[in-house]
Amino acid sequence: MPVPSVIMLQQFVKLDFKPNSKRKLSLLRPSRGSIFARDNNTCQYCGSPATTLDHIVPKSKGGQHSWENLVAACSSCNKKKGSRLLSDMRDDKFKLMDKPKHPGPWNIMRLRLLAQAPKDGSWLRFFG
Ligand SMILES: [Zn+2]
């Protein structure tokens, strides 16, 4: 049976999570897919297609799994940076194109949808 890749929302039931509940907090945590969607699948150091996730401040140096500390990166840049801080890089040109930001709750939902959307682009005209 054919299954549609796009459906139209006709009724919206708002699910209210308790403020600061564990469920709400886990929805706000960045996932690999949502970081890639936020960064447009682009390496935030050189602009090449991204294939890896980089902790700007490495986990070994106390870096958090947060929206502000994670960026999409190509494997070449990720390997070049290794577990160093950006301030420890010898190459002055090796820097972030933009400072990564927390996208806010509504954009997080958008990024999660983008991360899970079909790759054929059939849904694009429904998504502003
Ligand atoms: Zn790169």
Residue 17 confidence (pLDDT) above 60: no
The three-state secondary structure class of 48 is coil
| Residues sharing a CB contact under 8 Å with residue 25, sequence separation 6 or more, in sequence order | none
**Which pLDDT belongs to residue 65?**
94
Q: If you measure from the C-alpha of residue 63 to the centroid of ligand 1, how many angstroms do you get, rounded to a whole number?
A: 20
Asked if residue 44 lies in contact with residue 117, where contact means CB atoms within 8 angstroms, the answer is: no
Residues, CB within 5 angstroms of ligand 1 (ion): 43, 45-46, 48, 74, 77
Q: If you measure from the C-alpha of residue 10 to the centroid of ligand 1, how many angstroms do you get, rounded to a whole number?
A: 42
Region class of 82: left (phi > 0), else alpha (psi between -120 and 50), else beta: left
Q: If you measure from the C-alpha of residue 91 to the centroid of ligand 1, how many angstroms do you get, rounded to a whole number?
A: 13
Q: If you measure from the C-alpha of residue 74 to the centroid of ligand 1, how many angstroms do you get, rounded to a whole number?
A: 4
Tokens, residue 73: 């990166």
Q: If you measure from the C-alpha of residue 80 to the centroid of ligand 1, how many angstroms do you get, rounded to a whole number?
A: 9
Highest mean pLDDT among 4-8, 25-29, 36-40, 102-106: 36-40
Give residue-wise pLDDT tens across range 35-85. 998 999 999 999 999 999 999 999 999 999 999 999 999 999 999 999 999
Cα separation, 31 vs 37, in Å, equals 10
**Which pLDDT belongs to residue 15?**
57
Q: If you measure from the C-alpha of residue 64 to the centroid of ligand 1, how many angstroms do you get, rounded to a whole number?
A: 21
Give residue-wise pLDDT tens across range 78-120. 999 999 999 999 888 899 999 999 988 778 877 877 777 777 7
Q: If you measure from the C-alpha of residue 94 to the centroid of ligand 1, how many angstroms do you get, rounded to a whole number?
A: 9
Higher pLDDT, 106 or 29: 29
Cα separation, 40 vs 19, in Å, equals 30
Cα separation, 110 vs 15, in Å, equals 16
Domains of the chain are 31-110 (1.10.30)
